[in-house]
């Protein structure tokens, strides 16, 4: 289990996702744009599946510790993305009603 915020921020999955997002913003690559659009559209399902896998299934399997930590960090990142999507939807709806 990852115990420090610093460990989460410096985790390879976090760094890779930040680099991918930055590269997508700097260089318009149709494949990356399409891939991020699919992830954004299905983020609730991805979060649910990854959190069940990372926090319920993977700890019971004989896998290396780094794999379990990577699954947990991925689930946390997807959860943050899902929360961001929900907040954005609420803010957008509130702005339209005002």
Residue-wise pLDDT tens digits, 13-50: 888 888 877 877 777 777 777 888 899 999 999 999 99
**Domain membership of residue 19 as a residue range:** 5-97
Answer yes or no: is pLDDT of 5 > 60: yes
Q: Tell me, what's the pLDDT at 30?
A: 78
Could you report the per-residue pLDDT of 60-85, keeping only the tens digit for each?
999 998 899 999 999 999 999 999 99
Domains of the chain: total: 1
Q: Tell me, what's the pLDDT at 19?
A: 86
Provide the whole-model pTM. Answer: 0.68
SS3 content of the chain, % helix, strand, coil (to 5): 85, 0, 15
Q: Tell me, what's the pLDDT at 12?
A: 82
User: What is the CB-side half-sphere exposure of residue 49 using CA atoms within 13 A?
Assistant: 6
């Amino acid at each position: 289990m990852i115990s420090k915020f610093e460990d989460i921020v410096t985790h390879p999955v976090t760094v890779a996702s930040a680099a991918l997002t930055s590269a997508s913003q700097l260089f318009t690559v149709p494949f990356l744009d399409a891939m991020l659009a699919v992830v954004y559209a299905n983020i609730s399902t991805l979060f649910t599946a990854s959190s069940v896998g990372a926090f319920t299934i993977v700890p019971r399997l004989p896998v290396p510790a780094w794999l379990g930590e990577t699954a947990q960090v991925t689930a946390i990142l997807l959860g943050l993305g899902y929360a961001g999507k929900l907040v954005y939807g609420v803010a957008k709806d509130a702005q339209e009603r005002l």
